[in-house]
Amino acid sequence: MPLPPRAEVVVVGAGLAGLSAAVRLAAAGADVHVVDAADHPGGRLSTQVVDGFTVDRGFQVLNTGYPRTAADLDLPALDLGWFWTGAVVRVDGREHRVVDPRRHPGATVDTVRAPLGGLLHEAAVGAFSARAGYLPVDRLLAVPERSAEQALRRARVGGEALERFFRPFLSGVLLESELATSSHYLDLVWRSFVRGRIGLPARGMQAVGEQLADRLPAAARHWGTEVLEVSGCQVRTADGTTSAGAVVVATDPGTASRLLPGLEASAPRQVTTHLHVLPSSPRGVPLVVLGEPGGQLVNSVVVSDAQPAYSPDDRALVASSTLAPTREAEIRAEVARAQGVATTDLEHLTSVTVTGAQPAAVPPLQHRRPVDLGEGLFVCGDHRDTPSIQGAMASGARTARAVLRRLRPAVAQA
C-alpha cells in the first residue's frame, strides 16, 4: 500500500528500532506510517523456510536478559525453544561442556573439569560474571573503558579460558575475533547472558518483528516500498512524496548515512552462516559448539535441539558460522569435526553471508548517540545505541520519546 501524501510521522525502516518507535507513537495516538523496502517487518531478523526447515538469515538468538526484550515483547507468544547457557569446548578432539552451573547443575562437574586453566581461573570467570550480572549498570559504565580482551585479562581470566572459551564464544556474539570491542559493551552483553536465557521463536527470529508490527494498524504498514530520498520532512518513494510532521530514519547504518548526509556510520561487522541437515542430532543437548583456535568456524550449533520446530521432522538443522566469507566446501570438514559426524552425513541446505550484520562497538562506546537531528528529523537503530536487539529496541523507544516531545509535548511529559 503506498504512503499517503500527508502523515504526522513517517518511520523509514521496519527493523526492531523503527517498529519499537512506531508502536509507541501509535499508542500515543500519533498518525504514524512505517515504510520498509523489504516485503516483511523485522529487518535483520529475517527468516525463510527452505525445504521445510526454518532458516534465519544468519545464526542469531533472542536474549531474555535484554531489558527491552523482557519489557516490550510477549515472550510466551513467541513459543521460545531454549539453549543451555554455556558452550561445548573442544580440545584435542575431546568435548567439554562449560555451562552456567546455576542453571545446569547436572553439568557442573564437566565444567569444573574443563581444561580452562584450573580452579583459580574458573573462579575468575565466575567473579567476572557476577560483577557484570549484578553490579548496577552505571557502576559498570563508570569503570575505565578498554578493549574486551584487556578487560578479561584484568579480570584474571587466564590464557586457556580466553582462547578456548571467551574468544570463540565472543567472536560469535561480537562478530570479531580480536576482542577489540569496548569493555563497556562486553559488560552489558555479558550481563544479559547472566540474567537471561537465550532462545529461538518457533516461527524463527522474524517472528519478533512481526509481533511488534502486528501492534500497528494495517493501514500504517507499508512493506515492499523503498525510500529513495529524505529531504527535510519529506519522504520520496517511487509512488510519490509524503510530507510529515516528523520523519524517523530507522534503517541500517549505511542507508541512514546515505539518506542523512553527515551522519557517521560505524564500520559493519559481517558473518557467514552455513546450514546443514543431519539425519538426527549428534548430542541432543542444546549447546553451541565453539570453534577451535586456528580454525575458521566461530561456532556450530544444532538449532533444532533448542527449537525443534525449526526442523519439519526428526532430522537436525545445524548452523555453522565464520567471520570471514567462506564457501561450504571449505568448512564442511570442520563442521563435521565440531558435530562429531562424518562429512558425508552433512547435507548442505543453504549458506548466507550478511555483510552488515552489526555495527562495530569499539571504544569509546557511543551508546545513546543523539537521535533528534532537529527540524523534525530523527534517526534510530542499533548504530545509535548498541549493536544488538536490545540496542535497536532501546533506540526506538528513545526516539519515540524525542518525537513526542516535539509533536505532543503534553503527552511526552505524562
Ligand X SMILES: Cc1cc2nc3c(=O)[nH]c(=O)nc-3n(C[C@H](O)[C@H](O)[C@H](O)COP(=O)(O)OP(=O)(O)OC[C@H]3O[C@@H](n4cnc5c(N)ncnc54)[C@H](O)[C@@H]3O)c2cc1C
Residues binding ligand X (CB under 6 A): 12-18, 35-38, 43-45, 58, 60-61, 226-227, 250-252, 255, 271, 354, 357-358, 381-382, 387-392
Complex with ligand X: residue 251 or 341, whichever CB lies closer: 251
Shortest CB 283 distance to ligand X, Å: 21
Shortest CB 322 distance to ligand X, Å: 12
Shortest CB 185 distance to ligand X, Å: 11
Shortest CB 15 distance to ligand X, Å: 2
Complex with ligand X: residue 174 or 341, whichever CB lies closer: 174
Complex with ligand X: residue 91 or 263, whichever CB lies closer: 263
Shortest CB 6 distance to ligand X, Å: 19
SS3 assignment for the chain: CCCCCEEEEEEECCCHHHHHHHHHHHHCCCCEEEEECCCCCCCCCCEEEECCEEEECCCCCEECCCHHHHHHCCHHHHCCEECCCEEEEEECCEEEEEECCCCCHHHHHHHHHCCCCCHHHHHHHHHHHHHHHHCCHHHHHHCCCCEHHHHHHHCCCCHHHHHHHHHHHHHHHHCCCCCCCEHHHHHHHHHHHHHCCEEECCCCCHHHHHHHHCCCCHHHEEECCCEEEEECCEEEECCEEEEEEEEEECCCHHHHHHHCCCCCCCCEEEEEEEEEEECCCCCCCCCEEECCCCCCEEEEEEHHHHCHHHCCCCCEEEEEEECCCCCHHHHHHHHHHHHCCCHHHCEEEEEEEEEEEEECCCCCCCCCCCCEEECCEEECCHHHCCCCHHHHHHHHHHHHHHHHHHHCHHHHHC
Complex with ligand X: residue 14 or 377, whichever CB lies closer: 14
Complex with ligand X: residue 165 or 185, whichever CB lies closer: 185
Complex with ligand X: residue 217 or 224, whichever CB lies closer: 224
Shortest CB 32 distance to ligand X, Å: 15
